[in-house]
Structure 1
Amino acid sequence: MSKNIREEGLEKPVDVAEYLFRRLYEIGVRSVHGLPGDYNLVALDYLPKAGLRWVGSVNELNAAYAADGYARIKTISALVTTFGVGELSAINGIAGAYAEHVPVVHIVGCPSTVSQRSGMLLHHTLGNGDFNVFANMSTQISCDTARLNKPSEIPFQIDNALRECWIRSRPVYLMLPTDMVKRKVEGKRLETPIDLSEPPNDGEREDYVVDVMLRALHAASNPIILVDACAVRHRVLPEVHDLVEKTRLPVFVTPMGKGAINEGHATYSGVYAGTGSHPDVAARFEASDLVLSIGALKGDFNTTGFTYRTSQLNTIDFHSDHCKVRYSEYPGVAMRGVLRKLVERVEVARLARRPSIHVANEAQKRRDPSPTVTQAWFWPRIGEFLRENDIVATETGTSNFGIWETKFPRGVTGVTQILWGSIGWSVGAAQGAALAARDAGEDRRTILFVGDGSFQLSCQEVTTMVRHKLKVTIFLIYNEGFTIERYIHGMDAEYNDIVRWKYVDVPTVFGGTDETVRKFVIKTKDELDALLSDKQFNEASGLQFVEVWIPKEDAPRALKLTVEIGAKNNAKMED
């Protein structure tokens, strides 16, 4: 009787799980990652009703990595885990998404509200009656945390969390008790889409900031543009592209911003990362007297150990929640509106535009007489293999640094985790990215570069690629262990060694067949040249696995510089 009383005031009753999943579909999610568990099973039954596909992964950590990769292509993603054991396995992946501004909706199926109030000694708990301990952990890596305990509040909680996830481009956490899954809430709200528009800046404050920026820009003798990760994560690339196109100023990207700009554009001038940059790129960038820095995340690996040779006096910073002109900060003035007005009002005739530098893949220049595949040659050669609109995922280690030397064709999306840097992330992320591209109706190749050490941490996600028939080409760099760690400390240390696997057999062990997976072992430059020129290989119609042999002690120039500077910084701190 009490249930009917609660529901009789509802105009269009709908179950909580259906409400949640329909909202996810509305904001662009089509596939949901995660693992089943007894506290989320009933909720998972609602996925098909909302038009969503269950992905399934082999463990929650990989599922979180995959959700991260999915969101980088499809703008937002969803992950479902079970209480305690499941969500804690995923928490590293969610932390990475938080650090790198990636919007992931983390839904945790949990014990019923009755069980929680009674403090029952249930499995997957710490045995202390505290059912909020794990949610409390997640508050530190979520921009919104909602416990869906009261039906009258649940629709608002869901809508608010999804809006926060989208606007702030960071994970949110939804705790869904088993007895709330089928409870009725007001479905009429579903007729009104969630408002995902960003709050506009105050008009007068925005105009003032734009005027200050324009005075600096028109007065500069050598202005340039630098595009970083948050320009991508906070979806201002259309405005950035308009600014580049109108001003024709030299434009650079950071390692975390790689792929944000069309690298075939006439004013594209390379990857700037302090002393790790190509010498010509560094010289051109550091000659500037004004840097328009858009969406900066100045972490150590993104700046080669904080080696930017620029001054804040010569910098204008654009961020998602504030802007800064030299040392003057303007809180609450978000970059999107500012960039739009800057494009509208900049006087091109008053700009001092110095020449850009020419950036090219230097495969022939880097090719030495030895047959051995080297890091210096490999990455420019890969640049010749890439085609427009590819998705390129790179792993923490040599791949993240080597890809700096690869010039991308138009439309290539870089998927990389440089700030959080969780080893093994890229395998799951590549799966999620490939699935997101397919969900978006895009015929794109997804190409993964991962070291042998990293691959051993998360290789099981290959089975999810097989299961969903995804088009992923995996380049496994076989260099006998953790090369990045060797350069940081312990070149010959046992803890940086790994067991030699039969890597090309992994896809078969995980469910692939000779008909569904193509496998290659590459030991020389000529062998790699032949493979990258092969028509069938370039078509990448299914899963492809390439084991590339590179010497153990070989590493990209940028990696060597970064760890060398990091070691010096650590030594200073110890002193």
Structure 2
Amino acid sequence: MSEVTLGRYLFERLHQLEVNTIFGLPGDFNLSLLDKIYEVENMKWAGNANELNAAYAADGYSRIKRLACLVTTFGVGELSALNGVGGAYAEHVGLLHVVGVPSIASQAKQLLLHHTLGNGDFTVFHRMSNNISQTTAFISDIHSAPSEIDRCIRDAYVYQRPVYVGLPANLVDLKVPASLLDTPIDLTLKPNDPEAQDEVIETVKQLISQAANPIILVDACASRHDCKLEVEQLVDATQFPVFTTPMGKSGVNEAHPRFGGVYVGTLSHPEVKAAVESADLVLSVGALLSDFNTGSFSYSYKTKNIVEFHSDYTKIRQATFPGVQMKEALQSLLKTVKQAVNPSYVALPVPSVKLIASPAPPATPLTQEYLWTKVSSWFRDGDIIVTETGTSAFGIVQSRFPSNTVGISQVLWGSIGFTVGACVGAAMAAQELDPNRRVILFVGDGSLQLTVQEISTLCKWECNNTYLFVLNNDGYTIERLIHGETASYNDIQPWNNLQLLPLFNAKEYETLRISTVGELNKLFNDKAFATPDKLRMVEVMLPRMDAPANLVAQAKISEATNAAQD
């Protein structure tokens, strides 16, 4: 095979990076491109319910495999996906968004085609995507097309951001040299400037040598930019206490003896708050300091000795070092950090937050507090745990993850309904890696209604490694807590949720409804239920205004912030 079509070239490149499921919807400008998916061994087309859900699914897949591909059609398709693409941009998720666009001849003639705005402008949607893309390409030349595709895939993977590729319908069947596939895409990071990095390392080591009460704080970008191993090695070498933020949860092995808990500013457990805020040195890795990630910006460090390691710069106190990327900087620091630790440093015990559900009679109605405390005992090594914006994202902070757990929660972008699609992507990625790896979704009854169609994709691909916990608290509880407790705009039409799996023609499935402590305990003690051999939905009945304590506090802050005049 001396030549391959450009369409096949694209999918072969993705296959080389173990991207084996392509998300999206067909449209007449991408149909020839989609044909090429089936020419690549072990690659499949997910075929989502709509473009928004497809973008969410690609996001979830990428959080497991570091890269995903979304294919939409020009105009109507790509615009439907942009909310999901925006979330991937905000939260540092590597995503290749390939848009099938009209032929070059049609563009040149400015034809009044369907899916256009009727003004002959075929680049307007490309321009819309510019601000939520790491880079873009609107391909027009077959000779440069392979290198443009390689560049875009590289940037999506390395920078962990969405990248936009407009691919004209008439180019996908044109041939390019197959030999180009023999040279792997270079995914290495650009080396840090040696002098700047040396200054960073020496300054950090000096701060470490003087610290009597240092901590490590891990946030989302430590996971997104592949620094979990470096973080673990840093904790092992220094024996400093390590904490995560809500977005950083699962960025650290929570079974590690030096793990101290989740820090959310004023919303933290008192012992965690005291331990973090009394530190005389904070080594922050991969921070994304959004309002819900920080207890509405309520961090209260007692020290100015703060080192921030980021994907593209490092900051020490008030000094910023552009281009000193955290992965290489941490690897360099690890070579000598153990010797830099203050000889008088004593590794005191970390906060020990007990996760034992208070005993209650079996007939006691379920509450959020009981659920989120008890669920830790049911989780197991390797679980992928997906928590929806709302009570679930706040409640999961109270739980403890076993080793090798991956948490998915869209704390910054916070698009309601995101997790149903993300769960699909995560489940399909898990199937590729280990069919026995469980994917566990916690979603509210209100959020579910926004993206419920995507459960059909789970059924189609028989993602029997998936558990869907629907928290039914009769509407938008997080919104009620912020504003409008009795307002009708926070109500939803009640659904018979347990009919959804048969509605979507699931084959092997189980549905359950629980409302008491005893029913939950029985479920979590059932070995058969814990075995991922069928698609399961559990409807958890909860009181309307019941919520995790940290969400109640956050809602009060959010309401005050929204009402502030200055």
CA contact (8 A) 1:374 1:550 kept: yes
2:477 equivalent to 1:487? no
Pairwise CA distance, 1:369: 8.7
Partner residue of 1:74 out of 65, 68, 71 = 65
Describe how 1:331-480 pairs up with structure 2 within 5 A: 331-346=322-337, 347=339, 350=342, 352-360=345-353, 362-365=355-358, 371-441=364-434, 443-470=436-463, 471-480=465-474
Q: How many residues align?
A: 562
Distance 1:252 1:53 in 2: 39
> 3-state DSSP class of the match of 2:265?
coil
- For residues 345-364 of structure 1, the C-alpha deviation after alignment (integer angstroms, 9 at most, x for no partner) is 11165252442324455233
Partner residue of 1:554 out of 546, 551, 557 = 546
Which residue identity is paired with 2:470? L
- For residues 158-209 of structure 1, the C-alpha deviation after alignment (integer angstroms, 9 at most, x for no partner) is 0111111111100001111110011122332211000000011122221111
Distance 2:544 2:311 in 1: 41
Distance 2:260 2:527 in 1: 31
Distance 1:69 1:128 in 2: 36
Distance 1:360 1:427 in 2: 30
Name the structure 1 match of 2:503.
509
CA contact (8 A) 2:98 2:167 kept: yes
2:537 equivalent to 1:545? yes
CA contact (8 A) 1:268 1:359 kept: no
**Inter-CA distance 295–488: structure 2 relative to 1 (3 Å threshold):** same
Partner residue of 1:113 out of 71, 94, 104 = 104
Partner residue of 1:279 out of 261, 265, 270 = 270
Pairwise CA distance, 1:278: 1.0
Name the structure 2 match of 1:3.
none
> 3-state DSSP class of the match of 1:363?
coil
- Aligned residues with identical type, % of pairs: 46
2:165 equivalent to 1:174? yes
Distance 1:194 1:226 in 2: 33
Describe how 1:148-297 pairs up with structure 2 within 5 A: 148-297=139-288
Pairwise CA distance, 1:368: 8.2
Name the structure 2 match of 1:98.
89
> 3-state DSSP class of the match of 1:65?
helix
CA contact (8 A) 1:67 1:432 kept: yes
Range 304-313 or range 346-355, more displaced: 346-355
Distance 1:142 1:231 in 2: 20
CA contact (8 A) 1:361 1:405 kept: no
Distance 1:388 1:313 in 2: 37
Which residue identity is paired with 1:546? V
- For residues 426-475 of structure 1, the C-alpha deviation after alignment (integer angstroms, 9 at most, x for no partner) is 01101100111111245310000000000011111111111111111011
Which residue identity is paired with 1:552? R
Pairwise CA distance, 1:564: 1.3
Range 563-572 or range 82-91, more displaced: 563-572
> 3-state DSSP class of the match of 1:364?
coil
TM superposition outliers: structure 1 runs of 4+ over 4 Å: 366-370
2:520 equivalent to 1:528? yes
> 3-state DSSP class of the match of 1:172?
strand
- For residues 329-385 of structure 1, the C-alpha deviation after alignment (integer angstroms, 9 at most, x for no partner) is 111111111101211111165252442324455233375897111111110101111
Distance 2:249 2:509 in 1: 29
CA contact (8 A) 1:268 1:356 kept: no
CA contact (8 A) 1:361 1:407 kept: no
Name the structure 2 match of 1:45.
35
CA contact (8 A) 2:60 2:408 kept: yes
Distance 2:347 2:102 in 1: 63
Distance 2:112 2:304 in 1: 60
Name the structure 2 match of 1:5.
none
Range 136-145 or range 368-377, more displaced: 368-377
CA contact (8 A) 1:100 1:417 kept: yes
CA contact (8 A) 1:363 1:378 kept: no
- For residues 66-104 of structure 1, the C-alpha deviation after alignment (integer angstroms, 9 at most, x for no partner) is 000000001110011111111111110000000000001
Distance 2:357 2:291 in 1: 31
CA contact (8 A) 1:361 1:380 kept: no
**Inter-CA distance 213–528: structure 2 relative to 1 (3 Å threshold):** same
Name the structure 2 match of 1:21.
11
Name the structure 2 match of 1:132.
123
Pairwise CA distance, 1:390: 0.4
Distance 1:285 1:17 in 2: 51
> 3-state DSSP class of the match of 2:299?
coil
Partner residue of 1:571 out of 541, 563, 566 = 563
**Inter-CA distance 517–332: structure 2 relative to 1 (3 Å threshold):** same
Pairwise CA distance, 1:287: 1.2
**Inter-CA distance 103–368: structure 2 relative to 1 (3 Å threshold):** farther
Distance 2:74 2:360 in 1: 53
Which residue identity is paired with 2:187? L
- For residues 506-530 of structure 1, the C-alpha deviation after alignment (integer angstroms, 9 at most, x for no partner) is 11101114xx110000010100110
Distance 2:49 2:558 in 1: 35
Which residue identity is paired with 2:171? M
CA contact (8 A) 1:301 1:562 kept: yes
- For residues 476-514 of structure 1, the C-alpha deviation after alignment (integer angstroms, 9 at most, x for no partner) is 00000001111111011000000111001111101114x
> 3-state DSSP class of the match of 2:284?
strand
Scaled by the length of structure 1, what TM-score is found? 0.96
CA contact (8 A) 2:214 2:279 kept: yes
**Inter-CA distance 48–408: structure 2 relative to 1 (3 Å threshold):** same
Gap runs ≥5 in structure 2: none
Distance 2:107 2:539 in 1: 50
Which residue identity is paired with 1:151? I
Scaled by the length of structure 2, what TM-score is found? 0.97
Pairwise CA distance, 1:244: 1.0
CA contact (8 A) 1:270 1:281 kept: yes
Distance 2:266 2:533 in 1: 40
Pairwise CA distance, 1:131: 0.6
CA contact (8 A) 1:477 1:550 kept: yes
Distance 1:365 1:269 in 2: 22
Distance 2:431 2:340 in 1: 40
CA contact (8 A) 2:386 2:440 kept: yes
Range 354-363 or range 70-79, more displaced: 354-363
> 3-state DSSP class of the match of 1:350?
coil
> 3-state DSSP class of the match of 2:335?
helix
Name the structure 2 match of 1:7.
none
